[in-house]
A and B are shown apart, each in its own frame.
Chain A
Amino acid sequence: MKRSYVVFGATGALIVVGAIFFRPPASADVPRLPADDAEILERLPMRSSDPRERERLRLHDALVAHPDDLGTALTLARLDIQLSRARSDPRYLGYAQAALGAWWELPSAPSDVLVLRATIRQSSHDFDGALADLDRVLAIDPDDAQAWITRSVVLAVRGRYEEAKASCQPLARLAPELVFTVCETSIDAVSGSAGPAYDRLSMSIRRSRRVSANEDADEREWASSTLGEIALRRGRDDDAESAFSAALAIDPDDAYVLAAYADLLIDRGRPAEAMKLVAGRTDNDGLLLRLALAEAKAHAPAAATHSEMLGARFEASHLRGDTVHRREEARFELELKGDARAALALARANWDVQREPWDVRVLLASAVAAGEPGTAAPALAFLDEHHLEDPRIRALAARLRGGAP
């Protein structure tokens, strides 16, 4: 009898101790009633003292007063799209769409509206819709440089390199030399000519710096980040780092460059530097992914928290039916959760939509980890067809083909 009591007592004690020390984390969306009026619930991304926000409000009021003023609507939509990039906040894309509301669904929308609609559609990965809009613009006005650039970028994301490069051609006469060069070299770099592309673009950047030291900063930032990516294809990691640094010197907050640079630092086994680079940018899902990856590599204590946070973001985006983050989610599953099968399914579905080098890489890496080389066959065929040079991607492909590492 006595021993039963011991078992009883011990189990009871364990439960009590467990309950005291291991209170489960309060579920995130449990409603609560704040006790203090001064409790800060939310910080807004933009204060109303921000000049761009004031400009937004002014344009918004003007549009409400004159709802059919296309000029105001376009200015407001452009500002919103810029803000969505600067703050990596997709809400502004919705605001931009609302600004164009009166013209959005028109069968014969003005070409300015179509270009912006293509940009917004491309941001939510409606690439076919975006291309259709751009083709309509160019049928009306073959001299619309913005439409040619956007078209080239969208085609490149889809892996349609020949058409993408053809779309750069008109820029030779419609756009500054640097823009034309970035457009062409970014395609050359992923289709077997990374070396010449690198030389050509660095020369063009040097030239433009001589011509206008302070103007066209956006273009030079774009050029530098492209140069960094070209260096990656050549396996010149040091060159890539200096190009990314140059881009960040122009705009230290550019999420695209920060992500690319952080990936490189993680690849080079310097996760602590990657952490430093993207620290404080947990607002951006892509940068949160890099932060969590770097922290996991560095065995940093916050890795689990950030990985969990990222999981909750993907959960929320599933609820709304979004699929725009499949590349990132595949990396999350593969590199943070260690679920190669889930990663492979995501990477394969992503492959049908986008074919940038990272899309190739995550599909190959997932196939290697899952031991299913067959699933990566389309990516391997793509590599052969376009001669993508990137040594990290080539190494993965070799592992898949050779069967052994």
Chain B
Amino acid sequence: MKRREGARRAIALLAFALVALVAWPAHAHKPSDSYLTLVAVGSRIDVRWDIALRDLDNVMALDRDANGTITWGELRARRDDVTALARERLTVRSGDDACPLNATRLEVADHSDGAYAVLRFDAVCPSEPRALDVDYELFFDVDPQHHGIARIDDGAGTRTAIFTFADRRQRFERSTLGRAHQLGAAIRLGIGHIFSGIDHLLFLIALLLPSVLVRKGDRRGWEPVGRWRPALMDVLKIVTAFTVAHSITLSLSALGVLRLPSRFVESGIAASVVLAAINNVVPILEEDRWTAAFALGLLHGFGFSATLMDLGLPRQNLVVTLFGFNVGVELGQMCVVAVFLPLAYLVRRTVAYRRVALLGGSVAIAGVATVWLIERAFALKVF
């Protein structure tokens, strides 16, 4: 009897939770903030300014019918007023020259504490600014605790700043480094990712281990390759296939065309390592391992993209960054190959290489990757 009552109460609570989720999210009740993003490209500055509807309502009564809600229609009707207010409260200058703001779009966005108007401006400076002077005056007269949280991006780097009642004017020196710097940074990031991401490294090694051997005619064992050329060609095919494949999915994912949930991707990557390692022990895939490298590289590309996305890259430089990152990953792989291949080639005739390195190594890699697979797929910690 008691248990049934408990169950009924649980159902009642569940119903409530569902309704609460369907219903409009309530206010977070944090102090007032606006979010200002300035992206400088040449002499042009893309401005995105997110201003809370509540704050706008406080100064200009957006809620025209006074029913306690702000509709898109009510906001749209006051578009010119909102834009004018924002333009009055934000000044962007390059030296002595003003960079006038031209409103381009009005949209909305949901932040953690409610809906914001998203104002877009195009600011055009007379010349490419060496430093930007930003003067922020929004809402301080009605709410001295208001903050303007700004992000300034000039292609070479991103800086953040907070405008407050006491600190309304700030100067941002433009970084002198341009695209070359950004490309360099992306390449370094790509190289670094190969060496810091142990799963990609193990995958690569699992694929490379048999490269100095060929399967015997009966497919039950391995024998060393006679010359270095076929081994090198084999490796180049594998590494390049992998790079081409992950470049494709990384680009698709970073450009927002196709995205996969990280748990799915990370589990898939772990599974691919297991597969590549087991294949060295029991042949599952055919001789041309480059096709497998290509297929699994597609999956790994999504994993790379998560790394890149974490950096919050500016959109207009994405192509440079993507290219640099892919080049970096390829270079990183080549480093691994350059160390691995000569060594493996030298010891390829030994029994130890086949028994310990290939069999033992593959089994170990498969084991480690299986643990990852379980951890990632079921979101639990084994070790």
Contact = CB atoms under 8 A, between A and B. Distances in A.
A82 interface: no
Interface in B121-153: 141-147, 149
Interface string A15-45: 1001100111000111111101111111111
A41 B109 CA distance: 9
Interface residues of A, number: 74
A180 to B, nearest CB: 32
Interface stretch (B66-74, B229-237, B343-351): B66-74
B381 to A, nearest CB: 10
B68 A124 contact: no
A37 B76 contact: yes
Contacts of A7: 275, 285, 291-292, 295-296
B258 A40 contact: no
B259 A94 contact: no
Interface stretch (A107-115, A198-206, A279-287): A279-287
A42 B31 contact: no
A31 B285 CA distance: 46
A46 B67 CA distance: 10
A166 to B, nearest CB: 32
Contacts of A214: none
A282 B54 contact: no
Contacts, number: 222
Interface in B6-45: 9-10, 13-14, 16-17, 20-21, 24-33, 35
Contact of A124 (B50, B108, B145): B145
Contact of A32 (B21, B107, B299): B107
A62 interface: no
Given A19-B260, A272-B9, A301-B17, A98 B144 contact: yes
A53 to B, nearest CB: 10
Nearest to B112: A312
Contact of A34 (B55, B108, B114): B108
A28 B110 contact: yes
Contacts of A23: 259
B145 A94 contact: yes
Contact of A40 (B9, B26, B70, B118): B70
Nearest to B288: A4
Contacts of A22: 260-261, 264
B115 interface: yes
B73 A282 contact: no
B147 A29 contact: no
A57 B359 CA distance: 80
Interface in B279-307: 284-286, 288, 291-292, 294-296, 298-299
Contact of A49 (B66, B145, B296): B66
Contacts of A301: 14, 17
Contacts of A19: 258-260
A287 B362 CA distance: 52
B109 A319 contact: no
A272 B48 CA distance: 43
B53 interface: yes
B113 interface: yes
B113 A42 contact: no
Contacts of B173: none
B57 interface: yes
A14 B320 CA distance: 29
A11 B268 CA distance: 9
A44 B57 contact: yes
A236 interface: no
B29 A93 contact: no
Contacts of A3: 284-286
A309 interface: yes
A285 B142 CA distance: 24
Interface string B300-322: 00000000000000000000000
A41, A313, A319: most-surrounded residue (chain B CB, <10 A):
A41
Interface string B91-120: 000000000000000011111111110100
B162 A320 contact: yes
Interface string B155-173: 0000010100000000000
A313 B28 contact: yes
Contacts of B29: 87-91, 283-285
A327 B188 CA distance: 39
B63 interface: yes
A198 B275 CA distance: 68
A322 B299 CA distance: 40
Interface of A: 1-4, 7-8, 11-12, 14-15, 18-19, 22-24, 28-34, 36-49, 87-91, 93-95, 97-98, 101, 104, 124, 272, 275-276, 279-285, 295, 300-302, 305, 309, 312-313, 315-317, 319-322
Nearest 5 A/B pairs, CB to CB: A37-B73, A94-B143, A94-B145, A312-B112, A31-B107
7 contacts: A28-B110, A28-B111, A33-B107, A42-B115, A46-B68, A94-B31, A272-B10
Given A8-B295, A91-B58, 9 more contacts: A7-B291, A7-B295, A22-B264, A29-B111, A30-B109, A37-B72, A90-B29, A91-B143, A98-B143
